[in-house]
Amino acid sequence: MKKRYRFLWLLFGIFIFDSHLAVCSSPPTRLDMKRDFTVVEKVELKPFKTYDGLKAWHTWIIDGSLLYVIDHDPWNDLGTCYDFDTGKKLSVLAKHGKAPYELSDKISYKTIHVTKDFIVFVPAKTIAKTVSNKYIPVRENAIKVFAKKDMINNVPVKDRKVIIPAFPDSVWVEQATILPNGAIVAIMPPPAPDLQKLEKDARTGMEKKTLMVLGQKGVTYHETLPGDGFPEYNPSLGSKFTPYVTMKRSNARGLFRTRGNDMAVFAVDGQFMLYTFDFNSGKVKNVKRYTDILPLNGGNEVGNDMGLRVVCLEVTDNHIFCLVSGYFSEADKQSKTDRSAVFVFDWNLKPIKKFELPKLTKGYYTIPMDGSAVYFKQVDKENDKNTLLYKADLKI
């Protein structure tokens, strides 16, 4: 009788062990922000400076003593470099045109990545390509990399050095940056379904990857998050895309930053979800997820029940800074009060600290590249072409 009970207990133990393994190998589950972030500080912002002629709704990139203001209007110069302390104009970032040292004419640029030595411009336009007598939308990979020192020193545009990465024509590039070793890292969205079908035999499988590295040893392709990282994305709920395509779209449209030549961190579009990627191993290292993914707009987009999303992402050698906006409580959701906070992680995605930001209006929060502070760009009520800047230091 005792042997029989021991056998039953052994079977029960094996069942528990197998169940535990199933949970560990499952996609990342939603975590509790309050439980993760036990160190919380309420931030008080103070008036910092007024910038005449700089619009708050343009993209601001604060790089130490430099300020890049990006105008995404394809009919204007793409952006301007200023002295952040004085507001003095230093140079035009780039002009539109057909020359190698210019950006494609009348094309808006979706993303601009700034590194220690370079500025990378990624276009947002698609062009029509004829495949089997059909017009198929194709992303124009007119990506250009400029030396930052040429812009700071106001070198004439025609004399600036430019790197033009040679991407395969069949690859769509949504975002790109350059590593210290000169390798180009590109994030790829899923290709157009018609293009994928018509060129199926000619393609090499890179459409099944989400990240491409163009280095001295050639081109390598990597997968990042598997499709099952989106378990709630169910076609029966109105979704129009498979979990895999949804993952690629959300990954490509999100934010990412790199550290040195070996690491990157990604913030998934429309979510509070992060993961780190190791270029050496070609694998995802850690994942943090605080939102449940839901289909929106008839299944064309994804979001979550709290509207939480990472709106700004910056990194240092030791920390990852995430500016997150949305509803942080059911009370916020009921009152439709959109709030913001800065969440700090280490590179293992261990939560370090949360900075709660005050609810301010008619403006936008942003974080400098070094993560040392948080700024609020407020539209001047008397002159909407001017910006009132508020600041609070972030002490970890």
Considering only residues 211 and 42, tell me which one the structure prediction assigns the higher pLDDT: 42
* Pairs from 227-232 (Cβ < 8 Å, separation ≥ 24): 228/26, 228/27, 229/27, 229/28, 229/287, 230/27, 230/293, 230/302, 231/26, 231/27, 232/292, 232/293, 232/294
Number of Cβ atoms within 10 Å of the Cβ of 117: 11
What was the pLDDT predicted at 219? Answer: 85
What was the pLDDT predicted at 244? Answer: 67
| Residue 8, in any domain of the structure | no
Q: Which of 179, 182, 181, 172 is nearest to 143 (CA)?
A: 172
Considering only residues 240 and 198, tell me which one the structure prediction assigns the higher pLDDT: 240
| Residue 13, in any domain of the structure | no
pLDDT at 237 over 90: no
Mean predicted confidence (pLDDT) in 23-48: 80
Q: What is the CATH number of the domain that holds 334?
A: 2.120.10.30
Mean predicted confidence (pLDDT) in 62-68: 95
289-298 pLDDT, tens digit each: 999 877 777 6
3-state secondary structure of 17: helix
| Residue 19, in any domain of the structure | no
| Residue 159, in any domain of the structure | yes
Rounded percentage of the chain residues whose pLDDT exceeds 70:
74
The 8-class DSSP code of residue 96 comes to B
Residues making up the chain, counted from first to last: 396
311-353 pLDDT, tens digit each: 999 999 999 999 999 999 999 999 999 999 999 999 999 999 9
| Residue 131, in any domain of the structure | yes
Domain count, the chain: 1
| Residue 315, in any domain of the structure | yes
Does residue 263 contact residue 277 with C-beta atoms inside 8 Å? yes
| Residue 4, in any domain of the structure | no
Q: Which of 351, 331, 340 is nearest to 374 (CA)?
A: 340
What was the pLDDT predicted at 380? Answer: 80
CA distance 204 to 170: 10
| Residue 11, in any domain of the structure | no
Domain hosting residue 200, numbered range? 33-393
pLDDT at 3 over 80: no
